[in-house]
Amino acid sequence: MKKQVYAFFLPQFHECEFNNEWWGKGFTEWTNVKKAKKIFKEQIQPKVPLDGYFDISQISELKKQIAISKNGGIDGFVIYHYWSKGKRPLGKILDLILENKELDLKFALSWANHSWTRSWKNRRGSLDTIFKQLYEKDNTSHFEFLSRSFLDERYINVGDKKLFIIYDWQSIPDIKSFLLELRKYFKDNHTIELYVVATVTSWTYRVNDLVFFDACIISQPGNAFHSPENIFTNNKENVSVTTKLKNLPHSLRWFLYLIQDLFFNNPKFYEYNKIVDKVISQTKNTLLPQINIEVFHSAFVDWDNTPRYGKRATVIKNFSLDKFEEQFKHIYDTQKLIFIYAWNEWGEGMYLQPDTRYQNKRLEITRKISVK
C-alpha cells in the first residue's frame, strides 16, 4: 500500500505588499537567489530552476508544479500559513488554492507563527523584528479563517482528523489552553476533529509540553546540525551553541550575537553523508517514555543558505543522489506518514523542484520509492 508523502511548500516567489515595504518594490525570494555568489570554488551558485524563474501566483504555474510533484510521487503540500492578529504575509497562494477548486491538490497548513526579522543582515538582525507574531485573547477570527481550509474537500486528513501543524508552539502563551480552545471550536462548530502536530526544530527544554499534541515532526536538517542523537534527552551536553543561545534572555543574546558578528563571520560547512547519517541515527532515539505521542522524522533534500546569508552561510557540501535515496527510503520504510523538506525553499537550497544541475533526478528518486 502506498504511503502518503507530503512536501513543505513556501508560498513565496510572488510580489506582496509586506516584502515591498520591508525590502523594496518587487522583492521576492528570487531576488536573493539570483544574486547569490560562490563562497568556495566547488559551490553551485546561483541555483537556477530547470524551466526558469517563475511567479507562483499564476494559476498556470501552480497547476504545472502540482503536476510535476504528483509525477514525482509527492501526494500533497504542507503550506506555510501566516497569521498575526489578522495580518497574513504571503497569504495570496492559499487564497488562490481555496478559490480555484479545479487545482487538483491535497494540502494541509503549517502555521508559521514566528516573527520576521532582519537576520539576513547579521546575527543581531535576528532580534530586529520587522513583523511581530502577536497572539489574540479571542482566537475566533483565526479559527474562522482556518475553517475555510479545513472544510475544503482537498484538505489532508490523518485518519478522520484534519492535519494541522504548528511551527513555533513554544511561543504560544499557555499552549495547553490554546489547543483545548482550538479543538473545541472545530468540534462544536463544524464537527471536525483535529490532528495537531508540533514542529520540533531543535532540542528543547519544553519537551513535556508535547503531551498536548497528537504528534510531532522532527524537522531536518536543523536537528542534525544542532541536536544530540536523542533529541529529547535532558542532557544538554551535546546540544549545539546555536540552540543554547536561543534559550537565553533577549538582552544576553544581543550581546553574544554582537561578539559573533564582530569576530565569527565565517561560513559553516557540513558533509552531506554525515548529516544524512545523523538524520537516520536520530530516528532510532525518539521520545521520552512519559510522552505518548507519535513522532515523525522528516527527510530533507539539501541545504545551502548562501542566497540569504552570503559569507556567513551554512552549507552542506557534496550532495549525493545515492545518499538522498538512502535517507528518503529509510524514512519511507519506517513511518506511516512521510514529510520532506522541502518542495521549493530555494533561498536555503532545500528544494525538490527540478533545477539545471540535477534536473528531475531527485523527483525520480522519490517516485521510485513511493509509487509502488
Find the mean pLDDT for residues 264-274: 89
55 pLDDT exceeds 50?
yes
In the chain, the percentage of residues whose pLDDT exceeds 90 is 73
Cell numbers given for 209: 509540553
What is the pLDDT, as a whole number, of residue 125?
Answer: 47
Find the mean pLDDT for residues 189-198: 98
Backbone angles phi, psi at 153, to 5 degrees: -65, -15
- Cβ atoms of 153 and 183 within 8 Å: the answer is no
Q: What is the pLDDT of residues 286-340, one digit of tens each?
A: 655 567 789 999 999 999 999 988 888 999 999 999 999 999 999 999 999 999 9
What is the pLDDT, as a whole number, of residue 286?
Answer: 60
The dihedral region occupied by 249, where left means phi > 0, alpha psi between -120 and 50, and beta the remainder, is beta
Helices (H), 191-240: 222-226
Find the mean pLDDT for residues 16-25: 86
In the chain, the percentage of residues whose pLDDT exceeds 70 is 86
d(CA 307, CA 158): 36
Q: Which CATH number fits domain 4-116+137-241+267-370: 2.60.40.1080, 3.40.50.1970, 3.20.20.80, 1.10.10.10?
A: 3.20.20.80
Mean pLDDT, the chain, integer:
90
- Lowest mean pLDDT segment, chosen from 102-106, 242-246, 275-279, 327-331: 242-246
- Cβ atoms of 199 and 167 within 8 Å: the answer is yes
Neighbours of 105 (CB within 10 A): 21
Cell numbers given for 353: 523542484
206: confidence class by pLDDT, cuts 50, 70, 90: confident
- Cβ atoms of 45 and 36 within 8 Å: the answer is yes
What is the pLDDT, as a whole number, of residue 289?
Answer: 53
348 pLDDT exceeds 90?
yes
132 pLDDT exceeds 90?
no
Nearest Cα neighbor of 296 from 275, 271, 276, 279 is 279
All residues at 6 or more sequence positions from 350 whose CB lies less than 8 Å from its CB, including other chains: 300, 301, 302, 303, 341, 342
What is the pLDDT, as a whole number, of residue 309?
Answer: 87
Cell numbers given for 161: 482528523
- Please tell me which of 66-80, 111-125, 291-305 the model is most confident about, judged by mean pLDDT: 66-80
Question: In which element (H, E) is residue 143 found?
Answer: helix 140-150
SS3 track for 241-309: HHHHHHCCCHHHHHHHHHHHHHHCCCCEEEEHHHHHHHHHHHCCCCCCCCCCCEEEECEECCCECHHHH
What is the pLDDT, as a whole number, of residue 124?
Answer: 42
Cell numbers given for 140: 475566533
Q: What is the pLDDT of residues 215-248, one digit of tens each?
A: 999 999 999 998 888 888 766 666 656 666 666 5
d(CA 330, CA 232): 21
- Cβ atoms of 221 and 202 within 8 Å: the answer is no
β-pairing verdict for 344-345 and 4-9: unpaired
All residues at 6 or more sequence positions from 191 whose CB lies less than 8 Å from its CB, including other chains: none
Which amino acid is present at 172? I
Enter the pTM of the model.
0.92
In the chain, the DSSP E strands lie at 4-9, 76-81, 107-111, 116-117, 129-131, 157-158, 161-166, 194-200, 215-218, 268-271, 294-297, 299-300, 314-317, 337-341, 344-345, 350-351
**Domain assignments of the chain as residue spans, ordered by start:** 4-116+137-241+267-370
What is the pLDDT, as a whole number, of residue 226?
Answer: 87
d(CA 281, CA 6): 22
Find the mean pLDDT for residues 57-79: 97
The better pLDDT of the pair 53, 20 is held by 53
203 pLDDT exceeds 90?
no
